[in-house]
A and B are shown apart, each in its own frame.
Chain A
Amino acid sequence: MIQVEHVNKTFKVTRRSAGFSNAVKALIHKETDTVHALSDISFSIGDGEMVGYIGPNGAGKSSTIKILSGILTPDNGTCLINGRIPWKDRREHVKDIGVVFGQRTQLWWDVPVIDSFELLRDIYEIPRHQYLTTLEELIDLLALEEIIKTPARQLSLGQRMRCEIAASLLHTPKILFLDEPTIGLDAVSKLAVRDFIRKLNRIHKTTVLLTTHDMQDIDALADRVLLIGKGRLLLDGTLSDLKSRCEPECSTLDEIVASLYREFQI
């Protein structure tokens, strides 16, 4: 159970105009702007739900994921995940969650993937028996048999992403956060990833929150959609709610979202 109430987060961003004289000026007096990354965000997600979190770049999606994973502290507001405040009780909290950041890597670059997995096994203190069962299942579902013996640096992006997802699930978390898991993947890999997430949710009732710019991800995975823009939560509903907002009728999901972005001026 994820409960987020009235969460705010601001960042200070330094700004200056181009050119030498402005650079010198900035040495003496730095101008900073406050950016409201999140303002008054509230939502709750039940166990076993699959929720898509969409919005344009810079809307605050990643900030939300970071707050939910306990690595960013909001300015105010509350957030409870399975009864814990993520950033206060970070080390206990992270045992229950898995996170995949699509644009980063958690695998050790120059050792076989399986070595990274075994390190994670020890870091999460996964019992040996449970580890083997989970690993076997993940190898099977994500077709990792061959590639886990390869060093991460020699994997293609699609292979690596499958390994990243497996790495985040070794400790069988109840909640999975996916931050752009399909970014840059080809059609086959995308389908494989989607298919896997669906199965994971069906078999283990894992709660999934995923951010993406690929509307087909949403179509394939999310029962429910949260739309965020300029740090505000604009829409919380099912995919058909989303579709019905589009006047006149839009043919593709991308068009629906684009028209929503226009409607909310984000």
Chain B
Amino acid sequence: MKKYWSFFRIRFIRGLQYRTAALSGMVTQFVWGSMEILLFRAFYQASPESFPMTFEALSTYVWLQQAFLALYMVWFWESELFNSITTGDVAYELCRPVRLYDMWFVRGLAVRLSKAVLRCMPILIVSWFLPAPYGLTLPGDVKIWAVTILSMTLGLLLIVAFNMIVYMSVFYTVSSQGIKLFVTSLAEFLSGSVIPLPFLPDHVRTIVELLPFASAQNVPFRIFAGDITGPDLTISILKQTFWLFAFVLIGRYLEKRALKRVVIQGG
């Protein structure tokens, strides 16, 4: 366990070094969140009855999304990992008495957490002070907080497990460009980071909610905003767990197969 903790630590500390990037990221996310809420406000004023969430829930969703962007952005890749596979530097990591999958999984967690830790607090605090219904609304029930944290954890693990599948695929395809482009745009939409999933037409939404990407940020943020309750909540958490296991199994299978037939590039 200690080796994974060390690995986590070195990557985490390294992530904390980039303060200017964190500051500019925070400003961007704050402006982006405000614009998104203003945009939805226009919709809401045009026809409040066809709005699928309460406005408070929407604002809460948007602010959580901006604050924890680093945890759930599917389009974030570590180019070092892609490079190490295409240039063959991965050779060194294969000389360690550790499973490559585990090592990179921990690394993925560390990068995302270090980014999020730097950025989330200011956004959460400022948005909490914004007047209703434009700010962050906190749920009164402690249980909701606990379930949100559980669900956020599952969602984060799911995203990292998904990243791992893409990293492992580079052992087979050599170039990461195609798969990155394809996966990024699709997953962003399907995970509800472009528009929250309740805004999709009903028949589309039913399908999208079954897909794995709906089990990332969509679930915890809507739980926190009070938009998922009762039996839906249990089902959503179960779906998250299912997809997490599925992604981890696929990733580990790809890793195993890749290492058996792997060609470490370069002399």
In the complex, chain A residues 208-251 whose Cβ is within 8 Å of any chain B Cβ: none
Whether B260 lies near A125 (C-beta < 8 A) is: no
Considering only residues 85-108 of chain B, those with a C-beta below 8 Å from chain A are 87-89, 91-92, 94-99
Whether B91 lies near A91 (C-beta < 8 A) is: no
* A104-B84 Cα distance, complex, nearest whole Å: 10
Q: Give the total number of A-B pairs whose CB atoms are below 8 A apart.
A: 77
Per the bound structure, the CA–CA distance linking A119 and B92 in Å amounts to 14
The chain B residue sitting closest to A12, CB to CB, is: B263
Contact size range, B: 20 to 34
Does A11 contact B263, Cβ atoms closer than 8 Å? Answer: yes
From 62 to 113 in chain A, residues with beta carbon under 8 angstroms from any chain B beta carbon are: 62, 66, 69-73, 90-92, 94-95, 97, 99, 101, 103-106, 108, 110-111
A123 within 8 A of B: yes
Complex Cα distance, B93 from A101, in Å, reads: 12
Residues of B within 8 A of A118 (CB): 6
Contacts of A11 in B (CB 8 A): 263
Least Cβ–Cβ distance between B115 and chain A, in angstroms: 16
Within 8 A of A (CB), among B234-267: 259-264, 266-267
A115 close to chain B: CB less than 8 A: yes
B3 at the interface (CB under 8 A from A): yes
Q: How far is the CA of A9 from the CA of B201 in the complex (A)?
A: 55
Given A105-B89, A115-B10, A123-B7 in contact, is the A73-B97 Cβ separation under 8 Å? no
Identity of the chain B residue whose Cβ is nearest the Cβ of A95 in the assembled complex: B97
Q: A92-B97, A124-B97 are in contact. Are A119 and B264 (CB under 8 A)?
A: no
Q: A73's contact among B6, B95, B260, by CB below 8 Å, is which?
A: B260
Smallest CB–CB gap between B267 and chain A, Å? 5
Residues of B within 8 A of A95 (CB): 97
B23 an interface residue at 8 Å Cβ cutoff?
A: no
B19 contacts chain A at the CB level, 8 A cutoff: no
How long is the Cα–Cα vector from A183 to B259 in the complex, in angstroms? 28
Q: Which of A11, A104, A124 has the most CB of B within 10 A?
A: A104
Q: Is A252 an interface residue (CB 8 A)?
A: no
A119 to B5, CA, bound (A): 10
A58 at the interface (CB under 8 A from B): yes
**Contact A104–B89 (Cβ < 8 Å):** yes
Is A90 in contact with B10, judged by CB distance below 8 angstroms?
Answer: no
Closest CB in chain B relative to A175 CB, distance in Å:
12
Evaluate contact between A119 and B7: CB separation under 8 angstroms: yes
Residues of chain A at interface, number, CB under 8 A: 33
Find out whether the CB atom of A104 lies under 8 angstroms from the CB atom of B97: no
Q: Please name all residues of chain B whose beta carbon is closer than 8 Å to the beta carbon of A91 when the two chains form the complex.
A: 97-99
> By the criterion CB–CB under 8 Å, are A111 and B262 in contact?
no
Chain A residues near B14: list those with CB within 8 A: 108, 110-111
Residues of A within 8 A of B17 (CB): 110
B183 at the interface (CB under 8 A from A): no
Q: Which of A99, A103, A110, A125 contacts B95 (CB 8 A)?
A: A99
* Residues on the B chain within 8 Å of A116, using CB: 10
* In contact, A104 and B2 (Cβ under 8 angstroms): no
**Is there an interface contact between B263 and A104, defined as CB atoms closer than 8 Å?**
no
Chain A residues with CB under 8 A of B263: 11, 72
**Chain A proximity of B171: nearest CB distance (Å):** 12
B132 in the interface, Cβ–Cβ < 8 Å?
Answer: no
Per the bound structure, the CA–CA distance linking A70 and B262 in Å amounts to 11
> Would you give the 0/1 interface string for B57-101, flagging 1 where the beta carbon is closer than 8 Å to chain A?
000000000000000000000000000000111011011111100
Q: Which of B5, B7, B92, B99 contacts A101 (CB 8 A)?
A: B92
Q: Is B210 an interface residue (CB 8 A)?
A: no
CA distance A103 to B266 in the complex (A): 10
Choose one: A57, A70, A105, A119; the contact of B10 (CB below 8 Å): A119
CA gap between A87 and B5 in the complex, in Å: 26
**Interface membership of B13, Cβ < 8 A:** yes
Report A145 CB to chain B, min CB distance, Å.
22
**Closest B residue, CB atoms, query A73:** B260
Q: Using a CB–CB distance below 8 Å, which chain B residues touch chain A?
A: 2-3, 5-7, 10, 13-14, 17, 87-89, 91-92, 94-99, 259-264, 266-267
By Cβ-Cβ distance, the 5 closest A-B pairs, closest first, are A122-B6, A71-B94, A106-B92, A123-B3, A91-B97
A–B pairs, 23, beta carbons within 8 Å? A57-B267, A66-B264, A69-B94, A69-B95, A71-B91, A71-B259, A71-B264, A73-B260, A73-B261, A91-B97, A104-B87, A104-B88, A104-B89, A105-B92, A106-B92, A108-B14, A111-B10, A116-B10, A118-B6, A122-B2, A123-B7, A124-B97, A125-B2
Q: Interface of A with B (CB < 8 Å)?
A: 11, 57-58, 62, 66, 69-73, 90-92, 94-95, 97, 99, 101, 103-106, 108, 110-111, 115-116, 118-119, 122-125
Given contacts A72-B262, A91-B97, 10 further A-B pairs with CB under 8 A are A71-B259, A71-B262, A99-B92, A99-B95, A110-B14, A115-B10, A122-B2, A122-B7, A123-B7, A123-B97
